[in-house]
Amino acid sequence: MDGLDEADDFYSILGVSPRATQKEIKQAYYNIMRSCHPDVAGASMSADEEDDGSADDVCAFINAAVMETLMDADKRAAYDALMGFTSGAINPFNDKTHAADKVFVSEYDCIGCKNCANMCPKTFDLEDDYGRARAVRQGIDSEDDLEAAIQSCPVDCIHWVTAPQLALLETTMLQMERVQTWVLMMGGGSGVDVFLEASIAWEKRQQKMRAKREGDRQKSWMKWGPAATAQAYEGPTSKEARMQQETAAATATAARKWREYQRSRSRTAVGQLPGRR
C-alpha cells in the first residue's frame, strides 16, 4: 500500500486541499480504501508491513477519524475553525470561551520522572521510545487528583488546556523532534515551546486561507465589481460550541493515535507519517 506523506491535518492525510469538495474528498477516500484491499495492498507491501497490519491501521483510522469528520458538514466546519482553515476563526490559544479542563504533557520537556503516572495511572502513561509521560485519557481522574499530579512534576511539563488547544498541541507533537530523557537531563534538546509552535502553525494555516480568500475576492471584483465585506466573527452559538468541543476531543485522540502508529513502524526520533514510495 502506498504510504501517506508527512501530514498534520486530515486534508493532507487524504492528499486534498482544505477547500476540496465533498466529491474530491470521497474520491481520495476511495483511493486509499482500495489500497487497503488485500488483493491491492498485498501486491505492494513488504512481508513486514503485511505482518504489522499497517494497511488495516491506516484505513481504520481514516474511516473512524478523518472521514467521520470531513463528511459531516457541521463537524467539518468545526474542524476547519479549530485548525485555522476558516479565515474568520479565532486562534484557540486566544479563545477564552472554552474551559481549560483537559491535561496535556509537553513531552519535549518531560524527564520521565513517573510521578504523574504513579499518582493518576488512568490518565497518564509513559511511552516506550523516549520514556516520556503522556496524557492518554481525559476525564477519568478527579480534578483534585490531576492537580496533585501536576504539582508533583519537577519540571512543570503538565498543563491545563482547553479541548481545542489540546487538539492543536497533540497535532503539533507529530512534528516535534524528541530526544531520550537522559539527553534532556544532561542539557541537550531543550529550548522548544510546543505551545508557541502550535500557535504559529495555526496562524500559518490561517494566513494561507486568508490569502486564498483575498485572491478569490480580487478575481470576483475584476469580473463583477467589489466583493462583499466579510462578516465579523461574533463567537460560536451553543450548537457550534458543542460541536467544537466534540471535534476537538476527537482530533486530539486521532493525533495521539497517529503518533503511536508512526512510532510502532519507524521508531525514529522525528514523528513522521509513512512516506509515499
Q: Which domain holds residue 27?
A: 10-92+231-266
Residues 88 and 108 grouped into a single domain: no
Dump pLDDT digits (tens) for 191-219. Answer: 678 899 999 999 998 988 888 777 655 55
Q: Which residue has the higher pLDDT, 103 or 12?
A: 103
Residues 68 and 115 grouped into a single domain: no
Domain end marker among 196, 223, 246: 196
- 4 within some domain: no
To the nearest 10°, the Cα dihedral for 107, 109, 111, 114?
Answer: -50
Dump pLDDT digits (tens) for 226-248. Answer: 443 444 445 566 777 888 888 99
Residues 115 and 173 grouped into a single domain: yes
Residues 143 and 71 grouped into a single domain: no
pTM of the predicted structure, to 2 decimals: 0.75
- 148 within some domain: yes
Answer whether residue 186 shows pLDDT above 70.
Answer: no
Report phi then psi at 140, rounded to 5. -100, -60
Report the C-alpha gap between 31 and 61 in whole angstroms.
15
- 210 within some domain: no
CATH number of the domain that residue 135 is part of: 3.30.70.20
Domain end marker among 135, 170, 196: 196
Average pLDDT, the chain: 77
Helical residues (DSSP H) of 114-193, grouped into ranges: 115-119, 143-152, 163-173, 181-185
Residue whose C-alpha is closest to residue 58's, from 276, 277, 274: 274
Residue type, 74: D
Dump pLDDT digits (tens) for 6-52. Answer: 567 889 888 899 999 999 999 999 888 887 765 554 544 444 444 44
Measured CA angle at 106 (ends 273, 62), to 5 deg: 30
Dump pLDDT digits (tens) for 56-80. Answer: 667 778 887 888 899 999 999 999 9
Residues 87 and 112 grouped into a single domain: no
Where do we find the cell 486521532? 254
Which stretches does DSSP call E strand in the chain? 102-105, 124-126, 133-135, 158-161
**pLDDT band for position 274 (cuts 50, 70, 90):** very low
Residue type, 134: R
Report the C-alpha gap between 259 and 53 in whole angstroms.
16
- 203 within some domain: no
Number of domains in the chain: 2
Where do we find the cell 523516549? 130
| H/E segment holding residue 211 | helix 194-224
